[in-house]
A and B are shown apart, each in its own frame.
Chain A
Amino acid sequence: MNSTASCWRRAPRAVALSALVVSLAACSAPGGEAGGSGGSGGGEGLPDTIKIMSINGLTGPVAFAGTNAQKGTELALEEIEADGLLDDTTIEVEFLDSAADVEEAASMASQAIADPSYAAILGPSASAQASAISPIVEQAGIPTVYVQAGSDGVLVGDYTYRLTPPATSYYAIVGPYVETQGIATASVIFNSGNPTLVQLGEETVPGLAEEFGFEIVGSTGVDVTAQDFTTPASEVANEAPDAVFLELTGPQFPTAITQLRQAGFEGEIIGFSAMGSGNLASAAEVSVDSVWPTNYTPTQADEGSQAFLEAYEATYDETPNNYAAEAYDAMWFLARGIAEAGSADRAAIQEGLDAIAEEGFAGAQGAITFDEHDARVPGVLVRWDGEAEALVEPTS
């Protein structure tokens, strides 16, 4: 075969392939016109319907967080519609169940990215899933708002936001309480497999000790799935501190508290927000008077919190928890961002969200501000009275 002739025959194919590659590159670039619009209609102004994909664990080990978050989101949607924030535009949220599956979450996110009718994503609560999808949503340029998902690698750039403030950002409110209670010594038991809990146990609490003048007399890390706390409980009982800081996962708290009391520990128990949402109910009387800082409690006095509480109880005939409050705030944040953008274009929504984050807003969690794309709230201290969370009055 004549090599010159074959070269010419291959040229048109090469040109066509090059054109395809160039157009694909244009489609995948963040904010690119071809792939950046969400909702039908597109272009100038808001379309009739804006589609959002919600990816969360509605079944599986994080189902409690996911199902409560769904209620918060649905309540927010009702209010946004009634409020007329987006005029005649309706937000349609598609709730998809990623269970505990990282691959499932990534597949759903890819589906949203590829389908231009989705304007944004409400991301999964589980950090493993969130940090798996963050790079792909960032690269594709689709605004994604998370709740919970507190680990590193979740907020990776311009298109990712989080409405659950990290516990380390408000944990310091425990300090004045510790001082008022005259706590001079403390032990720490922390879950060594969870980055947030490790940070609380190894850095935050020791930092508080230095600032508020109490001594850490013992610190023990337990396995991520530890079920039995007899040994660390005995250690704490031997140390006999005035207080013990427990930085554990929700299901671990009742057992840890029960075994601490069985071991003879009589001091204060100070925990972390995972103590809430009814996780202490099974520990009955032994968990009474446990105290923890949290980003949300139903009894907090902020106007936004009270309005949320009233609306939630009227709608669902039950008291909301932090998962519902955070998701409620996330949906309102996204709706405000869309209103600010005046468009369902993904890049425009991202800019709208940035503008809202700069101003902050009042939500179910109280006054919400942002440190870059990460929410911040003042936090509240609560005490478990055996049946419900009661607000601990702030001390100076």
Chain B
Amino acid sequence: MAQDVLNALTLGALYLLFALGMSLAWGTINVLNFAHGSIFMFAAFVAHLLVAEVALPMPVLILVGIVVGALLSLLVQVLAFEPIQRRAQSSHKAELQILVGGIGIAIIPLSIAQYVTRSVPFGYSAGDFEVTSYDLGFVRISNVAIITLIAAFGLAAVLGWWLKRSRSGLALRAIGVDAEVASIMGVDRRRLALLTMAVAGGLAGLAGVLLTYYLGSIAPETGDAFLLKAFAAIILGGVGSILGVTLGAIVLASIETLVLVTTEGTWAPAIAFGVIFVMLLVRPNGLLGRKEVKRT
């Protein structure tokens, strides 16, 4: 039982690590970035290429992942999303076009990685980090699982605090509520948007490297597989809430783990998404999503 709880928490941490960056961008600057999965994967891939040449330690690879993720995300924002936002007739149309644009952009890093790796999984076995498992009697946990848990929930806490308590966090949330009014109030939307995308991309890169260590290896298509889970966690938890995405990730992971443990496992995703669907019928904004403010 304790092992199952730990497994659910660890799986939730995986989903959360992946979803944090996506939730940040979507919940504040209304950018639902479907290239997030590719950025996550490509950052991990670049780290793999480096470690194949030089046996680098884990902290260095994590730093590489963060930098690559941040740069890729900034590039996408400047070259693709900003022009879309400038030219779109309304913010609603811009969101839709960004969504479609992200799907298209995602193919580029994916194709590069597929071409180089021929879709064979890649990892960091050439590095100097060794995965060690600890048998505590009632549970078994690896060092990389511990790191993943601390990173996921720690980062969620830091991000949540920053958004709620800092001036720039407040400014970001203001953009998320009403970008025009925020602008009038002196918020530099462009600067904050770039900062947000850089942070979101950095989180994607961090997640990419950590998850590659945790899973042992990933394939170029792994980012796409996580995208749907992250999207579900954000919707379940509520767009615009870091605590919400944290809860959403844990709930999703818990349902999947429960089904895997109590049945043959083939129905895990169907049941998990079925519960989310029912949940959304009852509470469309998600568990902790921001309420829509309508003028009368």
A59, B114: Cβ atoms under 8 Å?
yes
A264, B264: Cβ atoms under 8 Å?
no
A220, B265: Cβ atoms under 8 Å?
yes
The residue on A at minimum CB distance from B217 is A282
Quote the shortest CB–CB distance from B268 to chain A (angstroms): 6
**B264 contacts which chain A residues (CB < 8 A)?**
219-221
B221, A251: Cβ atoms under 8 Å?
yes
Give Cα distance in the complex from A255 to B256, angstroms: 18
**A59 contacts which chain B residues (CB < 8 A)?**
111, 114-115
**B118 contacts which chain A residues (CB < 8 A)?**
63-64, 67
Partner pick for B140 among A61, A62, A219, A263, CB 8 A cutoff: A263
Query: What are 19 A-B pairs at a CB distance below 8 A?
Result: A61-B114, A192-B266, A220-B264, A221-B266, A225-B225, A230-B11, A231-B8, A250-B119, A251-B218, A253-B121, A254-B123, A255-B217, A258-B216, A258-B217, A262-B142, A263-B140, A282-B125, A283-B125, A283-B217
B-contact bits for A57-72, CB 8 A (1 contact / 0 none): 0011111100100000
B115, A63: Cβ atoms under 8 Å?
yes
**B222 contacts which chain A residues (CB < 8 A)?**
227, 251
CB within 8 Å of B: which of A173-232?
192, 219-223, 225, 227-228, 230-232
Quote the shortest CB–CB distance from A134 to chain B (angstroms): 24
Quote the shortest CB–CB distance from A219 to chain B (angstroms): 6
**B119 contacts which chain A residues (CB < 8 A)?**
61-64, 250-251
Give Cα distance in the complex from A235 to B140, angstroms: 12
Residue in A227, A251, A263, A282 whose Cβ sees the most chain B Cβ within 10 Å: A282
Give Cα distance in the complex from A140 to B265, angstroms: 42
Interface presence of A299 (CB below 8 A): no
Q: What is the size category of the interface that chain B forms with chain A? A: 35 or more
Quote the shortest CB–CB distance from A264 to chain B (angstroms): 6
* Given A228-B11, A231-B256, 17 other A-B residues pairs in contact with their CB atoms under 8 A: A63-B115, A63-B118, A64-B119, A192-B266, A219-B264, A221-B266, A222-B265, A223-B269, A225-B221, A231-B11, A234-B3, A235-B261, A258-B215, A258-B216, A282-B123, A283-B217, A286-B216
Give Cα distance in the complex from A257 to B221, angstroms: 19
**A283 contacts which chain B residues (CB < 8 A)?**
123, 125, 216-217
The residue on A at minimum CB distance from B141 is A262
**A254 contacts which chain B residues (CB < 8 A)?**
121, 123, 216-217
B140, A237: Cβ atoms under 8 Å?
yes
A-contact bits for B112-153, CB 8 A (1 contact / 0 none): 001100111111010000010101000010100100000000
**Partner-A contacts on B (CB < 8 A):** 3-4, 7-8, 10-11, 14, 111, 114-115, 118-123, 125, 131, 133, 135, 140, 142, 145, 215-222, 225-226, 256-257, 260-261, 264-266, 268-269
The 6 closest A-B pairs by CB, nearest first: A258-B216, A221-B266, A282-B217, A251-B219, A192-B266, A284-B125
Interface presence of A281 (CB below 8 A): yes
Give Cα distance in the complex from A192 to B256, angstroms: 14
**B14 contacts which chain A residues (CB < 8 A)?**
227-228
Quote the shortest CB–CB distance from B26 to chain A (angstroms): 22
Give Cα distance in the complex from A88 to B145, angstroms: 64
Residue in A230, A262, A264, A286 whose Cβ sees the most chain B Cβ within 10 Å: A230
B120, A64: Cβ atoms under 8 Å?
yes
The residue on A at minimum CB distance from B219 is A251
Number of interface residues of A (CB under 8 A): 42
B133, A262: Cβ atoms under 8 Å?
yes
B266, A231: Cβ atoms under 8 Å?
no
**A227 contacts which chain B residues (CB < 8 A)?**
14, 215, 218, 222, 225-226
B-contact bits for A231-259, CB 8 A (1 contact / 0 none): 11011011000000000001101110111
Quote the shortest CB–CB distance from B58 to chain A (angstroms): 16
B-contact bits for A255-286, CB 8 A (1 contact / 0 none): 10111001110000000000001110111101
Give Cα distance in the complex from A279 to B217, angstroms: 10
Give Cα distance in the complex from A192 to B120, angstroms: 21
**B7 contacts which chain A residues (CB < 8 A)?**
230-231, 234
B114, A63: Cβ atoms under 8 Å?
yes
B140, A231: Cβ atoms under 8 Å?
no
Contacts A234-B140, A283-B217 hold; do A251 and B11 have CB atoms under 8 A apart? no
**A255 contacts which chain B residues (CB < 8 A)?**
121, 215-218
A264, B216: Cβ atoms under 8 Å?
no
The residue on B at minimum CB distance from A285 is B125
**B123 contacts which chain A residues (CB < 8 A)?**
254, 282-283
The residue on A at minimum CB distance from B257 is A231
A278, B216: Cβ atoms under 8 Å?
no
Partner pick for B221 among A61, A223, A232, CB 8 A cutoff: A61
The residue on A at minimum CB distance from B259 is A231
Quote the shortest CB–CB distance from B53 to chain A (angstroms): 16
Give Cα distance in the complex from A314 to B8, angstroms: 51
Quote the shortest CB–CB distance from A384 to chain B (angstroms): 14
The residue on A at minimum CB distance from B222 is A227
Give Cα distance in the complex from A238 to B216, angstroms: 21
Give Cα distance in the complex from A286 to B123, angstroms: 13
Contacts A220-B260, A254-B217, A264-B133 hold; do A231 and B4 have CB atoms under 8 A apart? yes
**B217 contacts which chain A residues (CB < 8 A)?**
251, 254-255, 258, 282-283
Partner pick for A231 among B114, B221, B261, CB 8 A cutoff: B261
Give Cα distance in the complex from A220 to B135, angstroms: 24
Quote the shortest CB–CB distance from A125 to chain B (angstroms): 12
Contacts A225-B225, A251-B219 hold; do A231 and B120 have CB atoms under 8 A apart? no
Give Cα distance in the complex from A67 to B115, angstroms: 10
**A281 contacts which chain B residues (CB < 8 A)?**
120
**B10 contacts which chain A residues (CB < 8 A)?**
228, 230
B122, A282: Cβ atoms under 8 Å?
yes
